[in-house]
Amino acid sequence: MSLLADLLTIVGVGAGAFFFLAGTVGLLRFPDTLTRLHALTKADNLGLGLIVLGLLPRAGLSGGLKLIVIWALVLLASSSASQLIARVAHRGERER
Amino acid sequence: MSLLFDIVLSLIVVALAVRVIVAEDGFAAVVSFAAYGLLVALAWVRLYAADVSLTEVAISGGLAGMLLIGAASRLRAIDARAAAQRSGRGVRLFAALLSCGVAGGLGLAVLALPDPAPSLAEAAVANLPPTGVGNPVTAVLMAFRATDTLLETVVVVLALVGVWSLAPDRLWGGRPGAREHADPNGPLAFLARVLPPIGVVVAVYLLWAGASEPGGAFQGGAILAATWLLVIMAGLSDAPATHGHGLRWLLVAGPLLFLAVGFAGIWLADAFLAYPTDWAKALIVAVEVAKLLSVAAALGLLLLGPPRRIDTP
Amino acid sequence: MNGFLLFAGSLVLAFVALGLRRVLRGPGDADRMMAVLLLGSGGIAALLLQGVATGMPGVIDVALSLALLAAFASIAFAKAAERAPDEAPGETS
Amino acid sequence: MTAAEIFGLCGAALVGVGVYGLVIAPEPLRKLLAFNLLGGGIFLLFGAVARRGAGAGLGGDPVPQALVITGLVVAVAATALAVALLLRLFEASGDVSLRNDPPPAPEPES
Amino acid sequence: MSAVEVSTAGGTWLVLAILLPVIAMLLAAAAGGRHVERIALATVPAGLAVAIAIASGVVESGAPLVYVLGGWSPPLGVALRADGLAAAMMLVIAVVVAAVALFARADFHVAAGAPETRAPDAFWILLLSIWSALNAVFVTGDLFTGYVALELLTFGGVPLVCLDGRAETLAAALRYLLFALVGSVFYLVGCALLYGAGGTLDMALLAARLTPSPTVVVAASLMTIGLLAKTALFPLHLWLPPAHAGAPPAASAVLSALVVKGSFFLVVRLWFAVMPAIPGGAAAQLLAALGAGAIVVGNLVALRQERLKLLVAYSTVAQIGYLFLMFPLALDASGRLLSGGALAGGILQAMAHATAKAGMFMAAGLMYAALGHDRITGLRGIARAQPLSVLTFAVGGLALMGLPPSGAYAAKELLLGAASASGQWWWGLVLQAGGVLTAAYLVLVLAHATAAPDAPLAPRQAIARGRELAALFLALTSLLLGLGGWGALLPIPGGSVSPGLSLDGLMKSLWPLLGGGVLALLLGRWDERLPRALAGAGLGALRRAALVGGGALVQLDERLRRWPVAGLSLLLLTILFGAALAAGGSP
């Protein structure tokens, strides 16, 4: 059981870290603002989700609940924030 | 391993700080500053100061970040003009030299701090029981050095009076900020409907947790203020008129209750701002609740700025 | 295991810090804001890993506050950007 | 080397960067950012002092930590006042340069 | 750990001194409208009574009053302590606040039934907060509480500068705020380092615990320079002239007489109460050298001003310089108190300046109100139209110049005595020269004000007699301050200082007037008649030469007041002070 939990932690956290790497690469390499934005939000939502998943077995009940709330908040925030940023970027391009 | 982490974190923080100063673009400087604030919050965790980290996140990251980003966008027009007045190379070099001298002196002072370090940690823990709270930082803020905290809440109110006094005469007592016309179906309005309940819960939680764990009225108040500003920015509720009596009493309620409890201490516990042992925790929590509301209102209004419009009947 | 968590935290932080080069490059303000957004989630991840690994009280609460306030910088940015063109100096003086 | 020393030196460096910016930056908003960097550096110095004073089961001396919390609130109030002043000056004059001394307070038209 | 400190009888007054204005300020902010003025005016007598109670308590017990806040004694808690210095300062500040409040009623009155207006609301609240902050600075025994009080003082002072909302005053306020903030954070760094070195921020405990070390040297130099920036000691005075000259008269009086005294007093505390074991001989000489620079540049640039309020503001720059002459006279090479007389002289000088300068700014404001301008060359006839205002200006100027029995005279005697006792004749010379320089602008203004007008002057606005009397009262207070003796509160050798009311003493102090007259003739602004008269007397070349010198000083002052230059001076001085302190440490 504990082995299984440890395995979940290692896989989850490792994969999460990888997605953060992917998000960074996307932010730096992708050609224009909107594609960068897409890549970024996908990657960091997924990355944080996987890390939270990996940490769940080690966090206890109330701690785990908090972790999930945090993830949900980040999902909410980043989707709205990216929409807002996208609007600004879109308008900026039209004006240019 | 963790030392390496600290070193890398410090280097990134300093690099970001340098960029804040030397960035050509004013907005890039502000954004770098926001990133810097985030990383400093991590540094506080590394320094075993979760209370400070919470404050840094809520106040510097949340409120100051919003404030500065807003200001940078509005001042964009004159940014280039101001930047053209950059000092000559010689002056910059001389300034850099002197700054290095000051920083070097400070570094020397840090390394020369005495060993073993003097500390009040033991005294604080030993005197914790009569205050009734479990978090030593809260005990320092609310009991051992409560006077500083009291004066600080007054400072916040005074800063707000100062900001309001910048309004043109005819707008005195009016509402701060521009009138928001928000898209009721946009992402902002959506956030402004979903987040406030969570924000209130988190603020109250931080206040409640503050008695025994990291947290407290300032952190909770800052989060409450940010939540309030979100609702205003989304256009779901207008900024309040600054002549309102309810608002003004709310602003001073925290410091006034603090003062009242302080003076009651002269009779009940033989000293100003002393708490009778049995009542200590209840009184501290009561003051914290009032402070939470006052601080939230004051910080929110500080960010909204001076009154800018008068209601036309 | 705790060592692994701390290491992963450092790694995530290092990755997102690299993304900060976008702040320098731009070209638009939107690109700059994105880098901060990424740093925010990365910071939260690093805090969670720290908090679970060390068990220090309050660290998870820091992450919670950060998550709550993560969107605020972007909101302030969007608001300011939509207001900027229609405001000229001298308006209220 | 300890974490306290590392962040203490980091604080010292931030103070250096901050004062440089305050002296050199021509834009007032940048000066304000520099002031905040300077303040942040000082708070980190407090943090380093607090960490050195760890004891009695605490990771740091709570007194300097509490002082930093007070200081942060004061600093944000100062920043808000300065921003309000800056924006008001911008509205009133369309310029916010502080580099050269403005002719001090000419008489209002009588 | 030291023995637990306990509150003394009457210690509660110290709490009231800080918090009475705070309570009033909070109530005023909440109630708004007419209540603001009423609450403020009701607080004035109460605050005055508290200051008197504290002073009499100190005199009676012959020891500082102490209050341990919350019963938590230092090092963990905070103690308030009022010694004689604090009690004397609080007394004078209370008197000035009372007079300013009476004076300001005309400008910031809200009539019955009128809607709430901005400037009165803000002014009274800011005045109360400044009073509270100053009392906190005077009685605090804790460095960090001092920091919070300093910030309270700054936040109270800055909005006063731009109370009338003109762009120029907004710019002046922004400069003031930014520079004052730098000053505060420099002070704060020192707090962090001293806590790291001593494990407390309590002044008395730190004094016992600190030993010379690089940490303490760096802390001391940063704190000193930070406080100097807030006090506007030359060459860190970039913000003062525009800020003090642009504000409304009541606000100028508060800013010039009161606000700068807060940071000055903390310098005194730092050097005399916190670091008695830190050898600061060379650094003290440096402090006084800056003071001497302030006296020369401030006074001479004041002579070249076109406007009366700017002249008075520059004279404040000079007077701040006087305050720092006491450091090398009062401290010996190892940093311990050598001459209580010099310390008492410095504090008396601060008290004399607070009263005289407030009165002079108010008088200048009244002349402005009557004339609609304050050009010095346009003052002709004002002495006939407004004799009391001109008299106030004259009395204030004479008091600052050191005419017996003024506070400045007593201060000068004490400082001169200390200078000759310690063989530092050069500071005695500066003190004497300062009197001549002060006399110069006094003569200049009075010569213009008393000249016959070309046409009878019709005041634009009737000036209430009460306002003139409030200003005159302050100037007279300064002139009669030396009669107070002060030995009960200040460490004066022999118990009291002679008021110097002999014919001989009076004659001696009139000499500076003569010298000042010559300087005013050579350097002042006059209309065409005078230069022609001088040329007729063969002195034209001399005046031209003097004007070239004066012009160079004005140029120098302008350069120094540019932002980057002032910033560089700040850093350079910090490093110089550090070096001076470090040099003093290694014998």
What are the pLDDT digits (tens) for B272-303?
Answer: 988 888 888 889 889 999 999 999 999 999 99
Q: Is the pLDDT of residue C90 over 60?
A: no
More confident residue, E249 or C55: E249
E touches D, CB cut-off 8 Å, minimum 3 pairs: yes
Do B182 and E51 meet the contact criterion of CB atoms below 8 Å apart? no
Task: Give SS3 for C53.
Answer: helix
pLDDT at E465: 83
Tokens of D31: 């000066």
Per cent of chain E over pLDDT 90 is 42
Q: Is the pLDDT of residue D94 over 60?
A: yes
- Mean pLDDT, residues E349-370 taken together: 91
D31 CB neighbours in chain B (<8 A) are none
Cβ separation D102–E171 shorter than 8 A: yes
C89 CB neighbours in chain D (<8 A) are 90-91, 93-94
B28 reaches C (C-beta below 8 A): yes
Cβ separation E32–B274 shorter than 8 A: no
Per cent of chain B over pLDDT 70 is 96
Do C71 and B67 meet the contact criterion of CB atoms below 8 Å apart? no
- What value does the mean pLDDT of chain B take? 87
Of A37, A73, A84, the CB nearest to C78: A84
How many residue pairs bridge chain B and chain D with CB atoms within 8 Å of each other? 293
Q: Which residue in chain C has the smallest CA separation from D93?
A: C90
Q: Is the pLDDT of residue D100 over 60?
A: no
CA distance D71 to chain E (A): 8
Peptide bond into E405 cis (omega under 30): yes
Cβ separation D90–C89 shorter than 8 A: yes
pLDDT at E3: 58
Cβ separation D98–E171 shorter than 8 A: yes
pLDDT at D109: 35
Q: Which residue in chain B has the smallest CA separation from A86?
A: B187
Cβ separation B46–D3 shorter than 8 A: yes
Q: Model confidence over E18-69: pLDDT tens digits? A: 999 999 999 999 988 888 889 999 999 999 999 999 999 999 988 899 999 9
Q: Which H helix or E strand runs over C89?
A: none
Chains in contact with chain A (at least 3 beta-carbon pairs closer than 8 A): B, C
C58: left (phi over 0), alpha (psi -120 to 50) or beta: left
Residue from B191, B205, B213 to probe the interface with A (highest A Cβ count within 10 Å): B191
B83 reaches E (C-beta below 8 A): no
B145 reaches E (C-beta below 8 A): yes
Least confident of B196-210, D90-104, E93-107, E142-156: D90-104
pLDDT at E143: 94
Buried b (16+ CB within 10 A) or exposed e, C22-56: bbeebebbbbbbbbbbbbbbbbbbbbbbbbbbbeb
- What value does the mean pLDDT of chain E take? 87
More confident residue, E10 or B105: B105
Cβ separation C18–A28 shorter than 8 A: yes
Smallest Cα–Cα separation from E26: which of B290, B183, A83? Answer: B290
Least confident of B71-85, E30-44, E73-87, E555-569: B71-85
D90 reaches C (C-beta below 8 A): yes
B303 reaches C (C-beta below 8 A): no
Q: Model confidence over E516-559: pLDDT tens digits? A: 888 888 788 877 677 677 777 777 788 888 888 888 888 888 88
- Mean pLDDT, residues B165-170 taken together: 87
Cβ separation A84–C38 shorter than 8 A: no
B21 reaches C (C-beta below 8 A): no
Chains in contact with chain C (at least 3 beta-carbon pairs closer than 8 A): A, B, D
- Mean pLDDT, residues C53-68 taken together: 87
Q: What pLDDT band is residue A93 in, cutting at 50, 70 and 90? A: low
More confident residue, B241 or A88: B241
C touches B, CB cut-off 8 Å, minimum 3 pairs: yes
CA distance A1 to chain C (A): 15
pLDDT at B249: 93
pLDDT at E127: 94
Predicted ipTM beyond 0.90: yes
Q: Is the pLDDT of residue E160 over 90?
A: yes
**pTM for this prediction:** 0.93
For every residue of B248-282, which 3-state class applies, written as one string?
Answer: HHHHHHHHHHHHHHHHHHHHHCCCCCCCCHHHHHH
Residue from A68, A71, A80 to probe the interface with B (highest B Cβ count within 10 Å): A80
User: Is residue B89 classed exposed, middle or buried when 0-12, 13-18 and 19+ CB atoms within 10 A define those classes?
Assistant: exposed
pLDDT at A92: 64
Cβ separation B36–D40 shorter than 8 A: yes
